[in-house]
Amino acid sequence: MTTTTPGTVRSWNGEEGWGVVDLDPDVGGDPGLPAVVRDVWVHFSAVVGRDFGHLVPGERVSVAWDEAPNSPHGRQASAVVMADGGSGGGPIEASDHGAMSSILTIKWDDGSTS
């Protein structure tokens, strides 16, 4: 079941395209949820409304998330929207967050690379 909760971006790794959002304490109205599990893992593909999925630490967001036992945090975002509904400053250039600085090297069976 998907739950939507407001939260604050704790961290964002632009090189790898993922981060963590701390959910607000009420966590969708469930005050019994322990504080240690009030965070959600976010992949860049879940960020809505930006050309390149990115978040800024301290930014307020609304997170749609599901339980994900194999996720590093036990919860994974399916959609993240800026709390004000905007794009949080609009599109950014790839050099601002490193998402396009990756290099792929293919090693073929004969030992050559490309």
Rounded Cα–Cα distance for residues 54 and 97 (Å): 8
Cβ(30)–Cβ(62) below 8 Å = no
pTM: 0.65
The DSSP bridge partners found for residue 66 are: 76
As a whole number of angstroms, the longest Cα–Cα distance in the chain is 59
Domain 3-96 grouped into CATH 2.40.50.140: yes
Tell me the DSSP string of 39-99. Answer: EEEEEGGGB-SSSS----TT-EEEEEEEE-TTSTTSEEEEEEEETTSS-SSS---GGGT-T
**Could you report the per-residue pLDDT of 75-97, keeping only the tens digit for each?**
889 999 987 765 544 433 444 44
Where do the domains of the chain lie? 3-96
**Could you report the per-residue pLDDT of 22-76, keeping only the tens digit for each?**
988 765 445 565 555 578 999 999 999 876 778 999 999 999 988 888 777 788 8
